[in-house]
Amino acid sequence: MTLLPCKTALGSRVVIRAGRRELTLEETTNKGVVLALYEALSSHDVVQVQKLLASDLEWWFHGPPSHQFLMQILTGTAKFDNASFQFLHKTIDVFGSVVLVEGCDPTRSITWVHAWTVTDGVITQVREYFNTSLTVTRFGKSDISSITTLHCPSVWESSLPNRVGKSVPGLVLAL
């Protein structure tokens, strides 16, 4: 296996292994914060949830209003049937302060993507997408010293395993 050292835009060193990169210490910590949130949600640990979320959490939602399960759980407005919504994550990827989690609720045939922003160990923003194809890209200039077009490679794409034969909206999230 070939190891290719490279530098990120912030200068932190990462190693590419077979198309995947190792996480930096910050990214590993951010991933741990988000995993701790899902664990606290599944065990109904309100105190831990409050520790992990900023009091002024910024929330973005894309999907049917009836699918705002996470908001209903966090605000305590969930009806009995919504309280049992399962956030089963399938994939977790991290890009700096942004942690992308893709999952589903198999009982409802719903797929979702959460894009969490973690700042100093606290979740400050969540972007929530339901039954939506999401492509994540990073913007950056290819050569700062000259006038060039923006280079915006796709760094992640949702897989939505149950969308066969279904049409879903597609969105781009720029980091």
* Residue 78 pLDDT > 50: yes
Half-sphere exposure for 59 (CA within 13 Å, toward CB):
13
Q: Can you give the pLDDT at residue 12? A: 41
* Residue 117 pLDDT > 80: yes
Average pLDDT over residues 84-107: 84
Q: Can you give the pLDDT at residue 94? A: 93
What are residue 35's phi and psi, to 5 degrees?
Answer: -60, -40
Q: Can you give the pLDDT at residue 59? A: 92
* Residue 16 pLDDT > 80: no
State how far the Cα of 4 lies from the Cα of 17, in Å rounded to an integer: 7
Selected residue with higher pLDDT from 21 and 167: 21
Q: If we measure between CA atoms, which residue out of 170, 36, 158 comes closest to residue 104? A: 158
- Return the H-helix or E-strand segment holding 94: strand 88-95
* Residue 125 pLDDT > 70: yes
Q: Can you give the pLDDT at residue 70? A: 85
Per the prediction, the chain carries an average pLDDT of 74
Domains observed in the chain: 24-133 (3.10.450.50)
pTM recorded for the entire structure: 0.71
Average pLDDT over residues 9-32: 66
Selected residue with higher pLDDT from 88 and 118: 118
